[in-house]
Amino acid sequence: MVQTKQGFTWFTSKQVISPIEKDLLEMSDREQRFLDFGQRTIVNYPLVSLLVRKMPLDDSQRYGRTKDLLPILLSAVNVKLGALEIRFSLNQQSQHMLDAFKGIRANLYFMGKTIVDSRDQGKNMLSALVQELHADLLGMGLEQDQEDYLIDRIDSVLDEVMEKLDAGAEISSVLNFILINLKSLVEKQELILEEFNSSLASHSETENSDDGIELF
């Protein structure tokens, strides 16, 4: 029985595993390394439990050797399962970060576009308003100096408002700063994941090349 965050996975030397055997493994005291009852023995580790159906009770040497070797095997399996669980979690985290980055980048793009479009619309509305005011002033019968003064004041205020609205460079700078930092975080996460996978592959090659250990 292999236990991961996704639940239990069962493996057996027979075609099926009986419900009673599943219950024995699931309900066994995981704090106890060995549980013996008759010919059956359960060996427990945090991520894996093994039920041996027929222990060699009639051969004390074989029985003792089996009891010595089973913890070695299951300890290695437990370590490997833990490493696989970590790698799976890192892969998930990396994918979630990439998806989040893509979503944030898209939202930032549309937010910036909306701000710039709103600014441009505001500029166009002010320009249209000033043109209407100029046309209205011409029909008010004002003295030339009065008309010039009012037009200068309107143009001056318009220039100030346009300058305040013209924040495109600042918006672009802020958005680029956010995007660059998000991209840097994702690249660091991918590097960590790559180094971790490389270390697992190296560790696996070392284990496979060790032919000097004879378990049986």
Burial of 49 (0-12, 13-18, 19+ CB in 10 A): buried
Instruction: Record the pTM.
Output: 0.53
Helix (H) or strand (E) holding 42: strand 40-44
- Contact indicator for 13, 46 with CB cutoff of 8 Å: no
Residue 212 pLDDT greater than 50, yes or no: no
Cα(126)–Cα(120) distance, integer angstroms: 10
Q: Which residue in the block uniquely carries the two structure tokens 């479009």?
A: 117
| Cβ 158 vs Cβ 126: under 8 Å | yes
Please state the separation of Cα 166 from the chain's center in Å. Answer: 38
Cα–Cα dist 94/189, whole Å: 6
Residue with the two structure tokens 């399996």: 77
How does pLDDT run across 136-172, given as a tens digit for each residue?
Answer: 766 676 677 777 777 777 777 777 766 666 655 666 6
**What is the rounded radius of gyration, in angstroms, for the C-alpha atoms of the chain?**
37
Q: Note the pLDDT of residue 27.
A: 80
Question: Mean pLDDT over residues 9-20, rounded?
Answer: 82
CA–CA separation, 33 vs 62, rounded Å? 19
Backbone phi and psi for residue 33, each to the nearest 5 degrees, phi listed first = -65, -45
Contacts for 174 with CB less than 8 Å, ≥ 6 apart: none
| pLDDT for 196 | 64
In three-state secondary structure terms, 157 is: helix
Maximum average pLDDT range among 11-25, 57-71, 143-157: 57-71
Q: In this structure, what is the dihedral angle of CA atoms 49, 53, 58, 64, given to the nearest 10 degrees?
A: -10
Q: Give the model confidence (pLDDT) of 118-138 as tens digits.
A: 777 777 777 777 777 777 766
For residues 93 and 77, the model is more confident at: 77
Q: Extract long-range pairs of 77-81: CB within 8 Å, 24+ residues apart.
A: 77/45, 77/47, 77/48, 78/45, 78/46, 78/47, 78/48, 81/2, 81/4, 81/47, 81/48
3-state class of 56 per DSSP? coil
| Confidence at residue 73, expressed as pLDDT on a 0 to 100 scale | 92
Structure-model confidence comparison of residues 164 and 60, the more confident one: 60
Percent of the chain scoring above 90 in pLDDT: 8
